[in-house]
Amino acid sequence: MKIAVIRLNMFEHISSDAMKPILFGILKSLTPKRFDIEFFDERTERLPERIDADIIAFSVETFTAKRAYILAKKYRTSSNIIAMGGFHAGVMAEEMLGYADTVLVGDAEGNWERFLVDCENGKPKRTYYADETAPLTELYDDGKTYKHKYFGLGVHQLSRGCKFNCGFCSIKTMYKCVRRKPVDMIVRELSAAKEKLIFFADDNIFYDRSSAAELFRALIPLKKKWACQISMDAASDDELLSLMKKSGCFLVLMGFESLSRESLSEMHKAANLSLDYDSLIRNIYRHGLLIYGTFVLGCDGDSTDVFERTFAFAKRNNIAVTNFNPLIPMPGTEVYLRMEREGRLRYRKWWLSDKYRYGETAFVPKNMSPQELQDGCLKMRTDYYSAGCILKRLFGNKYNFLPMNFFVFMAANLISKKEIKRKQGQLLGGVLGETDAD
């Protein structure tokens, strides 16, 4: 049987910020050799008008759901099987079954193999549910899996799930616990990887202190340069930060989310509540690491002054890269359920609406208008990646001029500047033509 696996884009254009899809390597490892499997990444290539495959499988996130449904209609034939999985399946399996023959809920491990056997027997089930206790797959790349070079950046994953439960985050809709790969498996993966530059796609690489220290020590001999996401509890630990730097870390992604205690409480960001952000940032800089900071704006405690205060904080601290995001009610999260209960959703299903545009406010904020939230976030993004602000931040932190740091700082800022202009105001996926989403 022939299989086509598609990694979707939010829009019908080539992206400049696409990272290597881990899913391709996982599915290659799980697929028996008797199957012929081909991978397409819509972010880096134009999809063909017709795909000749027995199984067409889509990896679906909420922002790419409409695109998946449009392409499912396009590629469906009387003889092929349309399958969908990914984060969106965890909360919207019934919705997906309106467009797919089969929906795989949860991780690929176990699910994918059972699905393929059933397809061979001509009896695929409508829904498959993963066992969250299944061990994680060792990443496999035979050199033929990926058509695109992805800027020479390798993407790996040590764990799945997160120890926190933030109200706006969709991670818990898919993962109820945290599962981790053994350190020796990670060492084998990275030793086999051709890339010298690695991003760890874990939602939080810092599960506990002892396991983090064990990992960082094991990475030292590999001489890789890497970036990761960490929680605030790791940012004040000098021994861990020193180990991270020694083992090749050059950038940490951190969710500051808000400067307001009220908003942090609303988001259930308990780990952030008692922290001095400025002090933590200085401590990270002392170890020569760059920071990618994320912020969420539009909580019930936020008024229009939140934009200026948050922007000034990020600029003052010379944060290398930022995401200033409007609060987004993701399906299945506490935020979505609360907004739905209070009648504050502007679209019943914003991800399927033919009116909703990327960057638009999908709900009614309490202390500002939807337009004020949309405009405020866009202005912050645009101003932060203006030439003057980029230069100010570049020269404001001496660690930006370390060889690896300078390259990453400039590349990340220029790509972010380009993608903001391309994405803002774009219609997700195309026209689905189903008005019940509005």
Please report the pLDDT score of residue 110 as a whole number. 92
CB 362 within 8 A of CB 346: yes
CB 193 within 8 A of CB 164: no
Domain ranges in the chain are: 2-129, 150-423
SS3 (DSSP) at 85: strand
Residues paired with 325 in a beta bridge? 296
What Rg do the C-alpha atoms of the chain give, in angstroms? Answer: 22
Nearest Cα neighbor of 138 from 156, 153, 162 is 156
Kindly state the tokens that stand for 26. Answer: 């996982």
Main-chain phi, psi angles of 7, to 5 degrees:
-95, 120
Residues paired with 84 in a beta bridge? 58, 103
Task: Give the H or E element holding residue 401.
Answer: none
- DSSP code of residue 348: T
Kindly state the tokens that stand for 335. Answer: 């935020």
What residue spans of 40-127 are helical by DSSP H?
A: 65-75, 89-96, 111-120
SS3 (DSSP) at 95: helix
**CATH code, residues 150-423:** 3.80.30.20
pTM given for the model: 0.93
Same fold, 2-129 and 150-423: no
Q: At what angle do helices 387-396 and 305-316 cross, to 10 degrees?
A: 40
Alpha carbon dihedral 235, 286, 297, 300, in 10-degree steps, equals: 50
pLDDT tens for each residue of 343-394: 999 999 999 999 999 999 999 999 999 999 999 999 999 999 999 999 999 9
Please report the pLDDT score of residue 152 as a whole number. 86
Please report the pLDDT score of residue 232 as a whole number. 85
The Cα 267–Cα 258 span in angstroms is 9
CB 336 within 8 A of CB 409: no
SS3 (DSSP) at 164: coil
Block mean pLDDT (10 aa), the chain, length 438: 97 91 94 96 96 97 97 96 95 96 95 97 96 85 84 89 66 72 93 93 84 93 95 88 96 94 88 89 95 97 97 98 96 94 96 96 97 98 98 96 92 95 93 81
Cβ atoms within 10 Å of 273's Cβ, excluding its own: 10
Class of domain 2-129: alpha beta
The Cα 11–Cα 438 span in angstroms is 19
The Cα 284–Cα 279 span in angstroms is 9
Kindly provide the b/e burial profile for residues 276-288, where b requires at least 16 CB atoms within 10 angstroms of the residue's own CB: ebeebbebbbebb
Kindly state the tokens that stand for 31. Answer: 């697929």
The Cα 275–Cα 413 span in angstroms is 27
* DSSP codes of every residue in 214-249: HHHHHHGGGT-EEEEE--GGGTT-HHHHHHHHHTTE
